[in-house]
Structure 1
Amino acid sequence: MIEFTPWDIVRNLLLAARWTVALSLVAFVGGALMGVLALMMRTSRVAAMRRVSWAYIELFQGTPLLMQLFLAFFGLSLLGVEVPPWLAAGAALTLWSGAFLAEIWRGCVEAIPKGQWEASASLALGYVQQMRHVVLPQALRIAIAPTVGFAVQIVKSTALTS
């Protein structure tokens, strides 16, 4: 029978924590970039961009994360594309977190009163300028709590990658 000392257990937990933190950071940073892109598309005035963003969000929110991880690793290898486990896990978690962050942040953007949008439009600001100078700074204050809550969910979801 194998005996584990307390030091063996602590050492292995610290090694696992290192990978959990690294994968969580990759998923959160990548997901944030995807989320901002999807948010801008989802709130765009161009209908085709809204539809593409909606389809992306529905796909990744509507399917289980475990299935997405399996498809990223095993599904691509069935097509002849060998994907390293780290890359598959990072890509799947990034796409998954991007879909959720986009919807969290869309709710925060839509919480900004319509008068703020109208005021920025009356200053002849374009859509990107309205978002950058008027809407997003206000939405950022609203978005802190749900974003931190979802960051915890990302850390917990890295356990599926094992």
Structure 2
Amino acid sequence: MSLRDFGPNELMFLLLATRWTILLALIAFAGGGLIGLLVAAIRVAPARPLRWLAAGYIQFFMGTPILIQLFMAYYGSSFLGYRPDPWVAAAVTFSLNGGAFFGEIFRGAIEAIPKGQWEAATALGFRFTRTLRLVIIPQAVRLMLPPTVGFMVQIVKTTSIASLIGLTELARAATQVNTVTFQPVMVFGTVSLIYFALCWPLSLYAGYLERRFATGMTRKVEAPLVMSAV
């Protein structure tokens, strides 16, 4: 028997919890993006041991369930004498996991740039880091954008597992509301619409970027762009 019906107060509680879902997704996007850039740079670096290290990082985080990674960050750290806040554990886990996927997205975009660009930059006396920063990445950005925005949809949906360590985001708020209303169809139907409202615009934007850059992706990048980076 329900304690009360699903009404405006319950809806407002879910909407307020949505802000934490959005915040966690933004933290994962920013942290994962920065880690992904570093990982992608290491993946294409001349030093083979560094490439192996980055590849191992990617394989671990892409080859294990993110739920297990979250539990390792939250519960496993107790073996080190530290019990993190759920927010810290979730932010670190999602950033590290996102970094692996972003790393592969960025690496694919970097490797899609014609090798002639690397050779031209080397001929101009650029070192690896400067070539990557001034020549390659500016050209690779348009290739990175569509899959990057598309992966943001996956991040938003995946944040729901943070509820399992006590983080009160949208999924956990829905469980709490359902406990007192016992109206799962109404509660989780509403939550589904909220997730859809968050993810659908991102999916549309990713499709728009993909169509916009489709012609540019198939066209070879011209060498004068290297000269402009000097």
Q: Shorter-chain TM-score: which interval?
A: over 0.9
1:114-129 to structure 2, matched below 5 A, reads 114-129=115-130
Equivalence for 2:102: 101
CA distance in 2, matches of 1:125, 1:11: 56
The reply to whether residue 2 of structure 1 matches residue 6 of structure 2 is no
Is 2:25 the partner of 1:57?
no
Counterpart position of 1:86: 87
Q: Does 1:110 align with 2:111?
A: yes
Which residue number in structure 1 is paired with residue 170 of structure 2?
Answer: none
1:14-61: per-residue Cα shift (whole Å, max 9, x none)? Answer: 122111011011111111111111111111111121111111111101
Give the match for residue 133 of structure 1.
Answer: 134
Q: Decide which structure has the larger Cα Rg and report it.
A: 2
* Range with greater deviation from structure 2 (120-129 or 102-111): 120-129
Q: Give the paired residue count.
A: 162
After TM superposition, give the deviation of residue 9 of structure 1 in Å.
2.6
Identify the residue that residue 156 of structure 1 maps to in structure 2: 157
- In the alignment, which residue of structure 2 is the partner of 1:143? 144
Which residue number corresponds to residue 171 of structure 2? none
Q: Deviations over 1:132-159 (max 9, x none)?
A: 1111011001111000001111111100
Inter-partner Cα distance in structure 2 for 1:139 and 1:19: 32
- 1:41 counterpart residue number: 42
Structure 2: give runs of 5+ residues left out of the alignment. 164-230
* 1:73 to 2:93 alignment: no
Q: After the TM superposition, which residues 20-39 of structure 1 pair with which residues of structure 2 at under 5 Å, given as runs?
A: 20-39=21-40
Q: CA deviation at 1:80?
A: 2.5
Give the Cα–Cα distance (whole angstroms) in 2 for the partners of residues 141 and 4 of structure 1.
Answer: 49
Partners of 2:116 and 2:136 in 1: CA distance: 11
Q: Which amino acid aligns with 1:45?
A: P
Specify the code of the residue in structure 1 equivalent to 2:124.
L
2:86 maps to amino acid? P
Letter in 2 for 1:63: T
**Where in structure 1 are there 5+ consecutive unaligned residues?**
none
CA RMSD of aligned residues (A): 1.1
Partners of 2:6 and 2:102 lie apart in 1 by: 41
State the 1:5 CA deviation: 4.5
Which TM-score applies when normalising by structure 1? 0.95
Letter aligned with residue 50 of structure 1: R
**Deviation above 4 Å: which 4+ runs of structure 1?**
none
Counterpart amino acid of residue 31 in structure 1: G
User: Which has the higher mean CA deviation after the structures are superposed, 71-80 or 142-151?
Assistant: 71-80
Deviation track 1:104-161 (CA, whole Å, cap 9, x = no partner) reads 0000000001111111111111111111111101100111100000111111110011
